[in-house]
Amino acid sequence: MKYEEIPSDMFIKNRARLAVSLPENSLAVLHSADLPWRSADGTMPFIQDSDLFYLTGIDQEETILLLCPGHPDPGLREVLFVRETSDLIAIWEGHKVTLEEATKISGIRNVQWTTEFDAVFRRMARIKDTIFLNHNEHARSGSPVNFTLDDRFRQSCQGRYPDHRYARLAPLLHRLRIEKSAEEIALTQRACDITGKGFARILGFVRPGVREYEIEAELLHEFVRHGSRGFAYQPIIASGANANVLHYITNDQVCQDGDLILLDVAAEYANYNSDLTRTIPVNGKFTPRQRAVYEAVLRILRLCIEKLIVPGKHFKKEFHPEMARALEEELIALGLLDAEVVAAERAQEDLPEEKRAYRKYMMHGVSHSLGIDVHDVTPAEAVFVENMIVTVEPGIYLPEEGFGIRLENDILVRQSGNIDLMASIPIEPDEIEALMAGIS
């Protein structure tokens, strides 16, 4: 792995938190991600299943975790299965974790080869009534059913053990993963710091005439050289009017003098992700109009970080409407909304947010949980909680004027005051202009 070894204590604590949520007469099974096939005999880079990594730290395919916290034999309360290696595998694929290495990484004493799983599981299932199985239950997931190893195992397990009770593991893990440990916060901070290095690099590189993909290449270079696998998500390098396409990923246009570039790009580190957005002028200088819109977005970002995001507040029902009312005032000041129209809408308390006039200029959410997944899992009715890491990403999009502006930082939610994990990454327009001009 490119990243430094993570102490096993982190994974031991994560499993302990899950174990107390499982009924005594139950067991739970989690599988690694598949090695993703591309076409013919080619594969794409392997990315570990988030839940399995959260509980074990094993970053390798063909891995299974079996948890049985109420088992009378302490040695069978958690069993890890990893792929058996060989001299041939070592020649063709390189090193795979040994049983001893898996124990060191995960803190699990009972580690066996994956070929032993069926026999162990059969013995465990005989003495337990409930089997907890995992599935991707992210609210925005579009993954097909029976696609992952967890999904395929569910189908076979329910066929072989039809008289057992089955339960969902995902809701338990969603509740656990929303609050980040000190170790997880440190890993996310490392990802944010690497992202900052990439942003600093491109401030001295961007100029009229460069292509969007050249900027992408500069960022990737900087991320990888600091121990990242690369981008946390598909990078958005959107110059000019491209910024009004929220998920623009073509990244092939020439950056023109006088335009802005919206950069939604970030690094991952040790499977933990950051999520950054900055908007900078191609020629190093904001026009008065661009600066006015930029500063409006920046004020909204700061308002969210400093006042609106607090533990206990509901994402959609409380936080987003509060942010939207402030954004409406900024849009009125920019001459984009009519004050009387806004007042009339506010008088309609039951008017849905998506029907309000401001949505023409800012049509997406402003915050999501961040962690092993970029859009990290949360309970169904998510509220901000202590030690949750979230993004703050307001924007204003002006297709008629040929530009859009979005700014985004990652914060650690604290009752005593939120901590901006990207506070060291330049965001003030004057600082952006100075750095692009080579003035330190």
* Residue among 165, 247, 314, 346 flagged as catalytic: 247
- Whether 349 sits among the annotated catalytic residues: the reply is no
Q: Exactly one of 41, 163, 354, 381 is catalytic; which is it? A: 41
Active-site pick, 59, 184, 275, 433: 275
Q: Indicate which residue of 184, 373, 375, 433 is catalytic.
A: 375
Q: Are 325 and 337 in contact (CB under 8 A)?
A: no
d(CA 244, CA 225): 31
Provide the 10 A C-beta neighbour count for residue 255: 23
272 contacts 184 by C-beta, under 8 angstroms: yes
CA distances from 431 to 3, 280, 306, 434, 437 (A): 31, 11, 21, 5, 10
Of 306, 364, 401, 428, which residue is the catalytic one?
Answer: 364
> How big is the chain by its Cα radius of gyration, in Å?
24
247 is catalytic: yes
List for the chain the helix, strand, coil content (%; round to 5). 40, 15, 40
Identify whether 408 is a catalytic site residue: yes
375 given a catalytic annotation: yes
Is 340 an annotated catalytic residue?
no
Choosing from 62, 150, 216, 264, the catalytic residue is: 264
150, 408, 420, 433: which is the annotated catalytic residue? 408
H helices within 71-116, ranges in order?
Answer: 87-93, 99-106
Instruction: Decide if 368 is catalytic.
Output: yes
Is 393 annotated in the active site? Answer: yes
| Active-site entry in 278, 368, 376, 420 | 368
Catalytic residue among 397, 410, 420, 433: 397
Q: Catalytic annotation on 364?
A: yes
C-alpha dist (Å) from residue 365 to 21, 88, 199, 283: 31, 50, 24, 30
The residues, ordered by sequence, that sit 6+ positions from 367 with a Cβ below 8 Å of its Cβ are 304, 309, 315, 319, 320, 390, 391, 392, 393
For the question of residue 397 being annotated catalytic, the response is yes
Catalytic entry in 51, 61, 393, 410:
393
Where b means 16+ CB within 10 Å and e means fewer, 333-350 reads: ebebbeeeebeebeeeee
List 328, 406, 420, 433, catalytic entry: 406
- The residues assigned a catalytic role are 41, 247, 264, 275, 364, 368, 375, 393, 397, 406, 408
